[in-house]
Amino acid sequence: MTLPILDLMVVTAKVGLKELGQGTVLIDPLHTASLKVDADGTIPVPEFAVYIQMRTEDANGTFPMYLEVRDETNSVVIPNGRSSEENITFESRYFPVMPFEHVFLMRGLILPSPGIYHLHIMLRHTSLNDMPHSAQPAILRIVPHEKTFEAMP
């Protein structure tokens, strides 16, 4: 079985589509987010998207895929750090000019603390990011939102 190769992975606030066949618009690409820390020290993360492009010339079949969020060590999966699983079908074809595009949405993520988080694209419990010739995991840095003070009169 040949797996697709992950070429590109971008974390964004959301993804828009142009007219049919005209491409994809990445809205507010994210690298660092300043988010409010709750009283218990956790950080609720607003919904975000991860846009991917893959080469699928030799991939064939339907596979369960999802987005996974891991901690700073890049080894521990964050509780509730998995997107909904989607069954994605690849048909073996050879047309390398056109990449396979997909968007994963992450909803309801609550992070344990500020820090650096690694995002992986998972296929049947295997990280495509760990496969030869694939893109590295995307990184999302979370910093605590600092209160701002109004100037004294």
For the segment 52-76, what is each residue's pLDDT rounded down to a tens digit? 999 877 778 889 999 999 999 998 8
Total residues found in the chain within this entry: 153
Please state which CATH class domain 5-144 belongs to: mainly beta
pLDDT at 43 over 50: yes
Most confident region among 3-7, 81-85, 87-91, 147-151 by mean pLDDT: 81-85
Task: Give the pLDDT score at 153.
Answer: 46
> C-alpha angle 48/108/90, rounded to 5°?
60
Taking residues 92-114, report their average pLDDT: 83
Beta strands in 18-150 (DSSP E): 24-29, 32-35, 43-44, 48-55, 61-70, 77-82, 86-90, 100-106, 110-111, 115-123, 126-127, 138-144
% of the chain residues with pLDDT over 90: 52
Are the C-beta atoms of residues 87 and 48 closer than 8 Å to each other? Answer: no
Q: What element of type H or E holds 7?
A: strand 5-17
CA distance 127 to 142: 22
- pTM recorded for the entire structure: 0.85
